[in-house]
């Protein structure tokens, strides 16, 4: 299975996928990494792994629609079976979704539907929840609203700061993303009214 991974930052989730895909038994290979900005660590990680990269910067296009078209075309050129948003901070547009909805997944650092958006761990800590975690979900036109594929919980400890909680979440998040993408690649999936099942069925 051919994966394109989209990043905007450090790319530790990307790194976990790159490492996993070194094993042919994993079932998925990262064929390209895209970003919405240059000079991010995620692109360097890809280059180090000899994976091609591309950058689609919103401000290099006349409007959001043109950016959406360029991102869609760049991804489509790599003929992906699955596209993974791993810390990609842009909402894709209607063209992208028309091309890839149902094959575009995101990892979010909270237990959705609680705490969507940019600051999941901070919001969870401020709310006072005792369990936090991460969610892999399909992307639809909303913010972190698509059908849920997998979730993992971690405890919130009394003396947690945003950083300590985020680190605990990210350890579980990376493992979950690698497991989930591998299972999707090897076993396929079905979606029936938001109910996602991995495996042939």
Annotated binding-site members for (6R)-10-formyltetrahydrofolate: 64, 89-92, 106
Q: Does 34 bind ligand GRF (CB under 6 A)?
A: no
Structure tokens at 38: 């240059």
Cα dihedral angle (26, 78, 76, 49), rounded to 10 degrees? 70
Q: How far is CA 192 from the centre of its chain?
A: 21
How far, in Å, CA of 138 to CA of 191, rounded? Answer: 10
Of positions 70, 149, 173, 184, contacts ligand GRF by CB under 6 A:
173
- Name the residue whose CB lies closest to ligand GRF: 87
Q: Does 108 bind ligand GRF (CB under 6 A)?
A: yes
Mark whether 137 is an active-site residue.
no
Judged by CB under 6 A, the number of residues near ligand GRF is 14
Annotate 148-199 with DSSP letters as a single string: EEEEEEEEPPTT--HHHHHHHHHHHHHHHHHHHHHHHHHH-EEEETTEEEES
Q: Are 134 and 108 contacting, i.e. CB atoms less than 8 angstroms apart?
A: yes
How far, in Å, CA of 189 to CA of 201, rounded? Answer: 8
The region of 7-15, 43-51, 125-133, 178-186 touching ligand GRF under the rule CB under 6 A is: 7-15
Least spacing, CB of residue 115 vs ligand GRF, in Å: 11
Of positions 11, 34, 80, 146, contacts ligand GRF by CB under 6 A:
11
Q: Which is nearer to ligand GRF, 58 or 76 (CB)?
A: 58
Q: Which is nearer to ligand GRF, 98 or 118 (CB)?
A: 118
Site for ligand GRF in 85-104 (CB under 6 A): 86-87
Q: Which is nearer to ligand GRF, 41 or 73 (CB)?
A: 41
How far, in Å, CA of 141 to CA of 152, rounded? Answer: 24
Q: Does 116 bind ligand GRF (CB under 6 A)?
A: no
Q: Are strands 195-198 and 189-192 parallel, antiparallel or unpaired?
A: antiparallel
Least spacing, CB of residue 13 vs ligand GRF, in Å: 3
């Amino acid at each position: 299975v051919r994966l394109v991974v989209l990043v905007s930052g450090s790319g530790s989730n990307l790194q976990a996928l790159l490492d996993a895909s070194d094993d042919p038994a994993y079932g998925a290979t990262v064929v390209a990494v895209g970003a919405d900005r240059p000079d991010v660590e995620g692109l360097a990680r890809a280059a180090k792994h000899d994976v091609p990269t591309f950058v689609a910067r919103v401000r290099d296009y006349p409007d959001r629609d043109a950016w959406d078209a360029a991102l869609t075309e760049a991804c489509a050129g790599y003929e992906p079976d699955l596209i993974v948003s791993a810390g990609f901070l842009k909402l894709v547009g209607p063209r992208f979704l028309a091309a890839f909805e149902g094959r575009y997944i995101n990892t979010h650092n909270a237990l959705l539907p609680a705490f969507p958006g940019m600051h999941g761990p901070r919001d969870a800590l401020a709310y006072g929840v005792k369990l936090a975690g991460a969610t892999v979900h399909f992307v639809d036109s909303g913010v972190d609203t698509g059908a849920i594929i997998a979730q993992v919980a971690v405890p919130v400890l009394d003396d947690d700061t945003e950083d300590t909680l985020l680190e605990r979440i990210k350890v579980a998040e990376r493992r979950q993303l690698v497991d989930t993408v591998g299972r999707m690649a090897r076993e396929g999936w079905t979606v029936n009214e938001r109910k996602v099942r991995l495996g042939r069925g």
